[in-house]
Amino acid sequence: MITYPNCKINLGLNILEKRADKYHNLDTVFYPIPLSDILEIIENKDPENSPTFPLSTSGLPIQGTTSSNLCVKAYKLLKKDFPKMPWVRVHIHKIIPIGAGLGGGSSNGAFALKMYNNLFDLQLSEEKLIEYASVLGSDCPFFIKNKPCHAEGRGEVLREIELDLSAYTFVIVNPAIYVNTGDAFRDIKPRFPNRKIIDIIQLPPEEWRGLLQNDFEQSLFIQYPAIEKVKLDLYQAGAVYASMSGSGSTVYGIFPKGRQMEFNFPDHYFVKILSPE
């Protein structure tokens, strides 16, 4: 079975307060974007002559060990409750930049959960899949729904919202800078903003600039001026709104469809022009 785990962007990201469990409560809107990895999972017919967990990759290099991969963790999580699940082989072709604030790894893990559920007829409800996904990581539950959602808590408290941005073109730019999420959080000063994100996004995107903010930008722009320059360049090119996604380093720009765009980003930058449906 093959599927295509897509990524997301954050429309606004406010870090509200640190929790007793050392996570942070946040306020954001997740919006799915049609930029995808390729994930293949098949039953392993010969587990005795295979590695502990047959995981292969191609495309962009994936950091970490096999045991830390979320597709592997998803399998082991389900195997505890469904011990008769057959062994599997997993292949990931990585296209979504890593450490980029796009949730590519989280998407792989969540899509793997859905694939195991379908492959082995586990009959898990969306609610139960979200419960498993929340164990994998804060962004994983969103990719079970994979629709525009207002997110609270540490990102796992989701409410689907009506938000249609099909009249716009998205430009995704990653300046080849890896941002460690834990390090990014250490520089955050939690705050409660005057205006909630869910209220701001009721306005047209042309009115978001100056209102819809990502709290990570302030500190990361100081550490990595190249990320801030991407945002400024997108505005210079005619974006009605531009922002860093998640904890960076990807920046996206929202442009009216049909707008002529000219960019001069360095060759090693990852640049994609996308049209959400």
Q: Residues 8, 73, 114, 145: which is the catalytic one?
A: 8
Closest CA to 112 of 49, 55, 169, 168: 55
Q: Is pLDDT at 187 greater than 80 in this prediction? A: no
Omega before 249 within 30 of 0, i.e. cis: yes
Tell the CATH topology of 2-160. Ribosomal Protein S5; domain 2 (3.30.230)
Average pLDDT of the chain is 93
Which helix H or strand E contains 15, and what residues bound it? strand 6-18
CB neighbours of 59 closer than 8 A, spacing ≥ 6?
Answer: 37, 38, 92, 93, 94, 95
Provide mean pLDDT across the span 247-257: 94
- Domain parsing of the chain, residue ranges: 2-160, 168-274
Per-residue confidence (pLDDT) for residue 51, from 0 to 100: 67
Q: Is 187 a catalytic residue?
A: no
CB 175 within 8 A of CB 226: yes
Helix (H, G, I), strand (E, B) or coil at 221: helix
CB 68 within 8 A of CB 241: no
Read off the pLDDT of each residue in 129-155 and give the average, rounded to a whole number: 94
| CATH number for the domain whose boundaries are 168-274 | 3.30.70.890
Whether 139 is catalytic: yes
Quick one: pLDDT at residue 174? 96
Greater confidence, 228 or 247?
228
- Report the predicted TM-score, pTM, of the whole model to 2 decimal places: 0.92
Kindly name the residue from 27, 37, 139, 215 that is annotated as catalytic: 139
Answer yes or no: is pLDDT of 52 > 90: no
Q: pLDDT of 188-218, one tens digit each? A: 888 888 899 999 999 999 999 999 999 999 9
| Cα–Cα distance, 237 to 215 (Å, whole number) | 24
Of residues 9 and 53, the one with the higher pLDDT is 9
